Amino acid sequence: MTSMMTTPLAGYLLVAALLFAIGLGGALVRRNAILVLIGIELMLNAANLNLIAFWRYGPHPEALTGMMFAIFSIAVAAAEAAVGLGLVIAIYRHTNTTELDKIDRMKG
């Protein structure tokens, strides 16, 4: 099994890939809008893990590029979660449901 010969970096990248796939699967499979947002947050976190792993094991960690990128990504994800959840709440007030297959009309 190749996992015995993989480096630590490959291990982290595989974990990140699996987490990304789980997040993607969750966003595609569930009906509730909030769970889609949870899936999106998981995907963003997986990308952050990738960034930090590459920063740590890459050639120039003293340039801090990976760490900065990850910190900005955390901040952007928080902003996006706030706006997304505000949208979900507003849609709930309007249509009284959060299930995505019921919110399929353009007419308000």
Partner 1 sequence: MTPIFYLLAALTLAGGLASVLLKHLVHCALAVTVAFAGLALLFLQLDAQFAGFAQILVYIGAVAILIVFAILLTRGSDLPKGGVFSKTWFLGLIIAAAVFAVMGWAVLASVSAIPQQNTVPSVTVHDIGSALVGRYVLPLEILALLLTAATIGAVIVAMHEKARPR
Nearest distance in Å: CB 47, partner 1 = 11
Shortest distance, position 80 Cβ to partner 1, whole Å? 7
Cβ neighbors of 51 (< 8 A, separation 6 or more) are 66, 67, 69, 70, 73
Interface pattern 10-49 for partner 1 (x via CB under 8 A): xxxxxx-xxxxxxxxxx-xxxxx-xx-xxx-xx--x--xx
Task: Tell whether residue 68 is a contact of partner 1 (CB under 8 A).
Answer: yes
β-partners of residue 19 are: none
Q: How far is the CB of 106 from partner 1 (least distance, A)?
A: 18
Cβ atoms 103, 97 nearer than 8 A: yes
Is the dihedral angle over the CA atoms 61, 63, 66, 67 positive or is it negative? positive
Residues 47, 76, 103, 107: which binds partner 1 (CB under 8 A)? 76
Give me the least distance between CB of 85 and partner 1, in Å please.
4
Judged by CB under 8 A, the number of residues near partner 1 is 74
Which residue number, 98 or 107, has a Cβ lying nearer to partner 1? 98
CA neighbor of 43 nearest in space, from 62, 63, 28: 28
CB of 31 closer than 8 Å to CB of 100: yes
Which one-letter amino acid corresponds to residue 58? Answer: G
82 near partner 1 (CB under 8 A):
yes
